[in-house]
Structure 1
């Protein structure tokens, strides 16, 4: 069905339009009623990231609580590792399901299913009567958050206006620290409760982000790209017009985007020979796959995982053992990280991706080397000074990590993957993330227990590898639309061909519109002659 166009719309003019300039919003998003409503609703999907952040900081805090340690017989080593790592096992188990679910029933309803599973897990975790029940609850939390971790970034990326897509998708992962901050201060507050509710209450409150999503998800629109892929074109046009153009279906940008998405989906369907095999069937796609794997690997092997789940052990290793101080510091770190991550997310479209990645990797190489040196000196001398220095360097290290990895870990793969590969490519990135997260959660307490500061050299080596990899393989995507990024990966002619085909689609629709109008005039004329 052809979309209605204004009478003065000239499809030939699209040949000379500067599409990136045309898509640029002249007003701030909060001055646009449609975008204000859209980004308020997108907050519902963004909360999926808060669930993961809450989990890491909560487990950090619980390990400093006397009642939790007593109830679970003061777990350490591999037992402590499995209590943390089982959440990542659940996330890995969700990965074969999540992309197909997102492409089958849609991004929105996938989030609904994931949130239900998280709610079940939080109930089991908070009501645990033994270690097995606690582990089961954490497994389901990982399973549900894994589904949401695929569906939510897809929905956010595909709903955001092109001119603000970088900032909005970059904001998604910053809410990891929103959840982290809430959990850190919650466990700090419940530290004073003289019962098992000191750990049960924070465990129960992990359901809060998912409960909010379950209540308000119904107000969130579905992805236009998903709707078009299911031949629900009128609905897709309605969503794009309502939120990107305040209901104006005649907006030139909306019509061009609509035609471009249709052509992109058509091309990807024609050229596709197998869903997962598509990721390796061309040099461009192999490079995309490599970058997705690197994003998952480096985001978890940058050293921040040490304080993300085992801050208590890190501080104890440098002579800081007071539980109240440890939990207070956990809260301060979470709050600082969130503020930094939001500020840096706003730099994504202003500065570009490569400068942020390169500055981050360089800075972390230096700060982590200092971290190792200070810990080694404190272990050898027992002096309090190096321990305080470690606290200071943790903040500097997190600063450089937050510069890009929080905002771009998910957003960057979403940008470089075409629609048909996006769900599966994001699944690969999430698989790499969760495998390395499991490694950190399970192996880190064992490594710290047996090797202390020497274990940290593993992370310094991966930071050096990260710097080299980013320099040679990561591309700049600043200012490019999702479809136009394919130029770098698939050749100079890829985007131009897509635009030509999009224009052809527009012109064909205009021809159909004109023919329909001519037929209508002839019918009216024929009826008038019969009446005479």
Structure 2
């Protein structure tokens, strides 16, 4: 039995994104606890447990960044794994790797073992974060592709929030169980992901690429036709996929180096920078090291952890509007508004800390060197508010769209490799920022916010002049948009002139169908997306 409902398929596949979220808060909620600091202490021998300083700031940056290092390596090579063995198989391999990494992390006896375990966890996250969006985008209908692919970001936010509260609860336990339990529990979603993927179909476009046409048609019938192989949407989609595969075989090869050829380099740069900018927004500061930020604002103990957790709730709730409306809003406006909002709050925080704060000394606030700047009174509340507003700006914009956008840009023959390259850029910068932020707070203090504010301004300009609109188009139509100069939606050199296009508008524009047939076509597309039946594959 195979599952044919696209919402159920997405709900299972995006658990791979939830693993990344688990990792983020399993570190951010633990690095401030006494149990963690004492077990991995690198400072002078403490007289009491309260005197433990934990790993040095540069070492803590390395511990945090080790996961991103593994993710970068795995994301880079996940395209080859996905193209050879299938999107579904690649995700299942990733889930197995996560279990191995979680066991090592949970059993860590020293910093070296912890880093190795997190690096292995990163291998899973790299594979899943690159290939889950590809898998969903190749199964989803164009009218709901943004919602379904963007659900990966929602899973990440849920993973962050759930693991934070698990870690917070375990912080009350004495001894190493305070961090070993959360690090062990995080393997459970990976086991569920592996089991769930066994009941999902393979990507129809990958099957077509392997000349498995009967299987491709069967999956389209299962997912889009509710068991009817003659459904208008199934027939049209099958013809589009077949035509694209034939064109690619006759006109192009599928080597990795094709991504850097003149006819592809523009799309490659857009996809890569979508992921790079998503890291340079500064969200890493808020997710990994929010306890340092709020310590500067005078919070400590339970108040610090509870206040930190509020941003995770905000992240979960405000991702929902993007899932509901991103296919109507479009990709470009969402990215532009997000960059503008995040730039505003980053500069505001930098200004508040500079104007109303002061240097807290080499020991930092609460003997935390990374909390190197202190602010109190109403300005401290403003810093906290701006931090929350920053998360509220990121959650419905760059959070989901950075996963939705790259898989839409590339032709089938290189989609797995291209998205893998883009995602590897995400993890390369995640690694760099994870390592950079703790020393940055120690050495350049409030100016760290100004740096990220400038990045947000740069991405605002870049998106406006370089990123075309892809919402509402089939993957084959997006390919035509980039390659067919005679087409009505050819990008040319003016991405800001591209618009959201519905399937109905395209068919009517080309005169292929009349109003009645188009209405029936879209009715069929909507109905089969809402089907909750399971049929024999």
Please say whether Structure 1 and Structure 2 have the same fold, judged by a TM-score greater than 0.5.
yes
Q: Report 1:64-213 matches (<5 A).
A: 64-73=32-41, 74-213=54-193
Give the C-alpha shift of residue 491 in structure 1.
Answer: 2.9
- CA distance in 2: counterparts of 1:250 and 1:400, whole angstroms: 44
2:311 paired with 1:318: no
CA contact (8 A) 2:69 2:119 kept: yes
Distance in structure 2 (CA, Å) of the matches to 1:376 and 1:319: 16
The 5-angstrom pairing of residues 336-375 of structure 1 reads: 336-375=314-353
C-alpha contact 1:64 1:326 (8 A) present in aligned 2: no
Q: Secondary structure at the residue paired with 2:445?
A: helix
Distance change (3 Å), C-alpha of 1:392 and 1:96: closer
Measured in 1, the distance between the counterparts of 2:489 and 2:245 equals: 15
Q: Does 1:432 align with 2:425?
A: yes
Answer whether contact 1:76 1:445 (CA < 8 A) is retained.
no
Distance (whole Å) between structure 2 residues aligned to residue 43 and residue 355 of structure 1? 26
Residues 1:289 and 2:268 are matched in the alignment = yes
1:257 equivalenced with 2:225 (yes/no): no
Conserved 8 A contact 2:73-2:424: no
* Higher alpha-carbon deviation: 483-492 or 304-313: 483-492
Q: Secondary structure at the match of 1:163?
A: coil
For 1:355 and 1:91, locate their aligned partners in 2 and report how far apart those are by CA, in whole Å: 29
Q: Which of 198, 202, 207 lines up with 1:227 in the alignment?
A: 207
Deviation for aligned residue 1:271 = 2.4
Q: Cα deviation per residue 1:375-405 (whole Å; 9 max; x = unaligned)?
A: 2234238432212111111111111112221
Q: How far off its partner does 1:97 sit? A: 2.5
Counting helix residues as a fraction of each chain, which structure ranks higher? 1
2:26 corresponds in structure 1 to 58
Confirm or deny: 8 A CA contact 1:365 1:460 kept in the other structure: yes
Quick check: which has more Rg, 1 or 2?
Answer: 1
User: Counterpart in 1 of 2:457?
Assistant: 464
Q: Distance in 1 between matches of 2:119 and 2:298?
A: 33
Q: Within the alignment, does 1:455 sit opposite 2:435 as a pair?
A: no
Aligned to 1:485: 478
Deviation at 1:456, TM superposition (A): 2.1
User: Is the partner of 1:483 in helix, strand or coil?
Assistant: helix
Work out the CA distance in 2 between the residues paired with 1:274 and 1:171.
29
Q: Please give the root-mean-square deviation of Cα atoms over the aligned residues, in Å.
A: 2.1
Deviations 1:178-225 (A, max 9, x none): 100111111111121112111111111221221111222110110001
Q: In structure 2, do the counterparts of structure 1 residues 161 and 204 end up closer, same or farther at CA, with 3 Å as the change threshold? A: same
8 Å Cα contact 1:299-1:433 kept in structure 2: yes
Matches within 5 A, 1:408-447: 408-447=401-440
Distance change (3 Å), C-alpha of 1:395 and 1:496: closer
CA distance in 1, matches of 2:296, 2:466: 37
Query: Where do residues 274-285 of structure 1 align in structure 2 (5 Å cutoff)?
Result: 275-283=255-263, 285=264
User: Once the two structures are superposed, what CA deviation does each residue of 1:337-385 show, in whole Å capped at 9, x if it has no partner?
Assistant: 0111122221111111111111111111211111111222342384322
Q: Is the 8 A contact 2:295 2:304 kept in 1?
A: no
SS at match of 1:389: helix
- The 2-side partners of 1:336 and 1:106 are apart by 35
Classify 1:113/1:36 alpha carbon distance in 2 versus 1 (closer, same or farther; 3 Å): closer
Q: Which residue of 1 aligns with 2:367?
A: none
Contact 1:378 1:384 in 2 (8 A): no
SS at match of 1:452: coil
Distance in 1 (CA, whole Å) between partners of 2:107 and 2:487 is: 55
Q: Which residue of 2 aligns with 1:45?
A: 13
Aligned residue pairs, count: 465
* Equivalence for 2:282: 303
Moved more, 465-474 or 346-355: 346-355
Structure-1-length-normalised TM-score = 0.84
Q: Structure 1: which 5+ runs fail to align?
A: 1-33, 504-532
Q: Distance in 2 between matches of 1:131 and 1:199?
A: 13
User: 1 CA distance for matches of 2:33 and 2:428?
Assistant: 28
Matching residue of 1:379: 357
Structure 2: runs of 5 or more not aligned: 42-53, 359-373, 491-505, 511-537
Structure 2 counterpart SS, 1:346? helix
Q: Please, which moves more after superposition, 371-380 or 291-300?
A: 371-380
1:495 Cα offset (Å): 8.8
